[in-house]
Structures are given as structure tokens and as C-alpha cells.
Amino acid sequence: MIEMTPSFGLGTFRVDAAKTTNAVKSALEIGYRHIDTAQFYNNEAAVGQGVRDSGVPREDIWVTTKVLWDRLSHDALVASLKDSHAKLGIGTIDLALVHWPSPDGAVPIAETLAAMQEAQKLGLIRHYGVSNFTASLLEEAVEAPGGKAI
């Protein structure tokens, strides 16, 4: 089982879902071990299919997905990660990121991180973190309950 995010990976932003499966499969066959997707990309199911079709053991692949900013409240986040988990169809997601911070702080980061911790307990994700945060928002996130696990 990979314990850290591989430093080199395949991003799937703006990759048409119809082409994603083959792109992921091919990338894994030539040695990539990190695949990055997001709910916003609308290709999680195709990413999962590419992982399954590659023949590379699942424990040798790191998959990251990201949660949309409009799904950061507790219940919405857990529901969206259940959806991502089902679409990917690869078992536990290695890393779930908050794709963008909540606009104007509408959802407190502590609520979002509590939902990420619940998603871990449910076996949906192994790790969680944030992306596209400013330095000050990152500091706030790290100081929130559950923030040390980012």
C-alpha cells in the first residue's frame, strides 16, 4: 500500500470521460502511480474503470479526488464522497481534497474537516486535505479541529 502521494501523477482535468479510461489505463501501464480527478471533472467513473482495467494492483495506485465547494457542509460532503466512492469503484479513496474553499467562509472549515473525519471512519477515504487555499486559509484549516491531519 502506497503511504505517501507519489510526486508525479496524471491529472484528468478537461479529459473527456470517453477518453479518460484509456488515458488512465495507459498511464498506469507505463508507470504512473498517482491519478488525480475531481467531482467537477465528471470523469470519476471513467478514472475508476481505467484503474480496474490497467491490471496494476490497486494497492500500488494512489487516487486523489476533490470535493466541490458547494458540497462542504457536513451532510453534503459525506454524501458527495459516498457518490465519488461508488463512481470510482476502486475501494477506499486514497486522498480527498477540498477543491476550493467555501466562498466567503459560508461553511466553517471545522465543519468540513469533521465531515472528512467521518468519511475516514466510514472507509470512504484514507486521507484528506485542501487545495487552492491561500496561506491564511491554510493556517486556519491546520489550526481547526482535525486540521493536523491535513
The residue among 94, 114, 105, 102 whose CA lies nearest residue 72 is 102
Sheet with 62-67: strands ordered across:
10-11, 34-36, 62-67, 93-98, 125-130
The one catalytic residue among 20, 24, 41, 109: 41
Task: Please give the Cα distance from 82 to 86 (Å, whole number).
Answer: 6
Bridge partner list, 134: none
For residue 63, what is the enclosing H or E element?
A: strand 62-67
Is 32 marked active-site?
no
Catalytic residues: 41
